[in-house]
A and B are shown apart, each in its own frame.
Chain A
Amino acid sequence: MTTIPMETGLLLAGVLFMLGLISVMIRRNIIFMLISVEIMLNAAGLAFIVAGNHWAQPDGQIMFIFILTMAAAEVSVGLALILQIHHQLKTLNSDAANFMKG
């Protein structure tokens, strides 16, 4: 079995993270923003796996399980907020929820 070099794995994680970050910033639809955050979380998780593999340690995989758990909790809170925003504003555009300015 050929091993994937660590640089490749970390590069993939970095690219995924940047993609997620950019789409959080440019997306207006709040569901897409939530998905982008999930992508960023998974990018971070991938980085842990790669690092764990590199040093042959189980810690990386344990961290990934933690991230998954945390992401599940985060998504439930996030979806509840999205439901509330949709209920209040009848839209999913995040820019419409700008009452707390200045």
Chain B
Amino acid sequence: MGELLWLIPALPFAGALLLVLFGNRVSRALVSAIGVGSVGISAAVTLVLGIQYLSSRPAFIRQEVWQWFDVAGFSPSIAFHLDALSMVFIFVITFVGFLIHIYSTEYMAEDKDYARFFACMNLFVGSMLMLVMADNLLLLYLGWEGVGLCSYLLIGFWYKEPANGYAARKAFIITRVGDTAMAIGLFMLFQHFGTLHIQSISTEAAQVWSIGNETALIIALLLLGGAVGKSGQLPLQTWLPDAMAGPTPVSALIHAATMVTAGVYLIARMHVVFELAPAAMMAVAVIGAVTLLIAGFAALTQYDIKRVLAYSTISQVGYMFLALGVGAWSSGVFHFMIHGFFKALLFLCAGAIILALHHEQDMRKMGGLSKKLPVVFYTFLIGAASLAAFPLVSAGFYSKDQILWLQLAGENGNIWLYLAGLLGAFITSIYTFRMVFLTFYGEEKTHVGHKPTLAITVPLVILAVLSFAGGFIELPHNFGHVVLFSDFLAPILPAVTMVPDFNQYEWMLQLLAAVISLGGIFIAYLFYYKKPELIDSIHRSETTMAIHRFWHSGWGFDQLYDTLFVRPYVYLSKVNKSDFIDSIYTFIANATQGLHQLFARTQTGVMRNYVAGVVVGAIMILTISLLL
């Protein structure tokens, strides 16, 4: 049944190749057909395989396409591995990716580099599929780097604007810091196991290392470094808000389906190694908790609608890390899936708004759009409800509530992580509905130009349905008790060890989470709809404005890194402009040149001088032979 497996990543790659080679020579309709079609067929193949997989439930399906190379006993193959975990990721990547591609046909319709856009998007989806389907870490790393390359190409898509090129380079370089850590981690894994095959490492690691092994800890931390870079977590989160320079469908793809979730996948995939290093697990949880708070506060103060969403992604990926960090693997992956739906939805809605308002992204210039763009309004509302974890009816409530619950009920959780998550949830619902009220309510400030057509509204409606209904496949114990999703993942990802006799408190915590979410919405309603003068009073105070500026700049991380790394580096390169090492070699070259010029002067062309030279030489040789 696995014969079709290779088609899933191969189709987007083939689409990218065709578009790169012939994209500029064929009509736009054909470009759309290739670009959207390749991902669409890939999604269809995923669906077929998914149904087969669900009906027969094998442990995993493996398909080896060919052997990559074989050097000194190291022989990785181009082989794909399908199990429940990669199934979830492939499903989200191909389906959400497909919807984003459909959306892009309208969003990018006016762009002259239409073919280049779809080529990069296909390559992006293909790389991400390779990342999640790889059966060894080397192939995973190839996909990992491919994703990094595509993010560079797409963030800097409108390359004529220098700021976009800067954002693209920033994303590439900062994620490269994490990638380097990850590469070292892979070297160490290879040194210890002599293979990079994920299954073998997972089985052997548990036998070779005991819990708390130092090597396991170092490797887990290095892999965490890679995950932190790609997933935009503290301290490598600064590239993500700037990545908004790319076209909006790209942001949707980066934040929902690809790239950012690669780190979550890596940790979930290598969970055996992480379980052997409790300190690394704690680091994952703490990074998640701190990141979700920092990003949440930063999102509160942004005016650019896409930057709010970018910070909310950092914050939501922080929740996923929080879940992974306490060993709630399937909850982290569940939140990834739900987040993939609602974040793609929110970004695509934001894109529709931006398109309608002639590329205006400032929320202060939006308003009153609920009447003008009804489809966008209602779908955005569903996405926002999911992001803010609106109780009972939104998918986000079930995924986030599970994470928060396991912070207390899980053995590895603790009260501080829970409180951080709870505070984060409160802030999330404030900034989410701040966005809703600023954008859709109040008076209209910018004229609506472009009305979205079917290519935009259909993906929005599908994603809205998923963001609404996706949560019902996993319901809490005391409320429906549906565990389809965690059962599906159970063969791959172990369940959380629960604290005994804690279940009776679950309804209290759910109530608390619900109250927190509704309270956040109410505060947003109060400040941004009912009594806007409250905001003005905040803006008048000097202290709060200082905090506001601090949060607005993303907690000053850009300035900090600028001072710590960028400026010393620029200074050093300025000092060493002529390259100290190189001067040794230039000296040799210059000396040779000088001698050459000196001797060239003896070539006068006058014959008598040459005769004199011969005579002098002869006399010298004679003298020497006589004397010796």
- Listed in ascending order, the chain A residues whose CB lies under 8 Å from chain B are 21, 24-28, 33, 94-95, 97-102
A101 touches B603 (CB 8 A): yes
A28 touches B608 (CB 8 A): yes
Within 8 A of A (CB), among B581-628: 600-601, 603-608, 611-612, 615
Q: Distance in Å from the Cβ of B620 to the closest Cβ of chain A?
A: 15
Q: Distance in Å from the Cβ of A21 to the closest Cβ of chain B?
A: 6
Residues on A with C-beta less than 8 A from B608 are 24-28, 94-95
Report the interface size class on chain B: 10 to 19
B605 touches A98 (CB 8 A): yes
Partner of A100, one of B601, B603, B611, B615: B603
Residues on B with C-beta less than 8 A from A94 are 606-608
A11–B615 Cα distance when bound, in Å, is 19
B604 touches A21 (CB 8 A): no
Q: Distance in Å from the Cβ of B66 to the closest Cβ of chain A?
A: 63
A25–B608 Cα distance when bound, in Å, is 5
Residues on B with C-beta less than 8 A from A28 are 608
- Listed in ascending order, the chain B residues whose CB lies under 8 Å from chain A are 600-601, 603-608, 611-612, 615
A97 touches B607 (CB 8 A): yes
B600 touches A102 (CB 8 A): yes
Given A21-B615, A25-B612: A102 touches B607 (CB 8 Å cut-off): no
Majority SS at the chain B contact face:
helix
A-B contact pairs, 24 of them (CB 8 A): A21-B615, A24-B608, A25-B608, A25-B615, A26-B608, A27-B608, A28-B608, A33-B607, A94-B608, A95-B606, A95-B607, A95-B608, A97-B605, A98-B604, A98-B605, A98-B606, A99-B605, A100-B603, A100-B605, A101-B605, A101-B606, A102-B600, A102-B601, A102-B603
Closest 6 CB pairs of A and B: A101-B605, A98-B605, A100-B605, A94-B607, A102-B600, A98-B606
Name which residue of chain B comes closest to A98, CB basis: B605
Q: Distance in Å from the Cβ of B308 to the closest Cβ of chain A?
A: 73
A94–B612 Cα distance when bound, in Å, is 14
A98–B608 Cα distance when bound, in Å, is 10
Q: Distance in Å from the Cβ of A37 to the closest Cβ of chain B?
A: 10
A50–B608 Cα distance when bound, in Å, is 31
B603 touches A25 (CB 8 A): no
Q: Distance in Å from the Cβ of B613 to the closest Cβ of chain A?
A: 10
Residues on A with C-beta less than 8 A from B615 are 21, 25
Name which residue of chain B comes closest to A96, CB basis: B606
User: Given known contacts A25-B611, A102-B603, what 20 new A-B pairs fall within 8 Å (CB)?
Assistant: A21-B615, A25-B608, A25-B615, A26-B608, A27-B608, A28-B608, A94-B607, A94-B608, A95-B607, A95-B608, A97-B605, A97-B607, A99-B605, A100-B603, A100-B605, A101-B603, A101-B606, A102-B600, A102-B601, A102-B605
A25–B600 Cα distance when bound, in Å, is 21
A33–B608 Cα distance when bound, in Å, is 9
Name which residue of chain A comes closest to B597, CB basis: A102
Residues on A with C-beta less than 8 A from B600 are 102
B607 touches A101 (CB 8 A): no
Name which residue of chain A comes closest to B607, CB basis: A94
A27–B608 Cα distance when bound, in Å, is 8
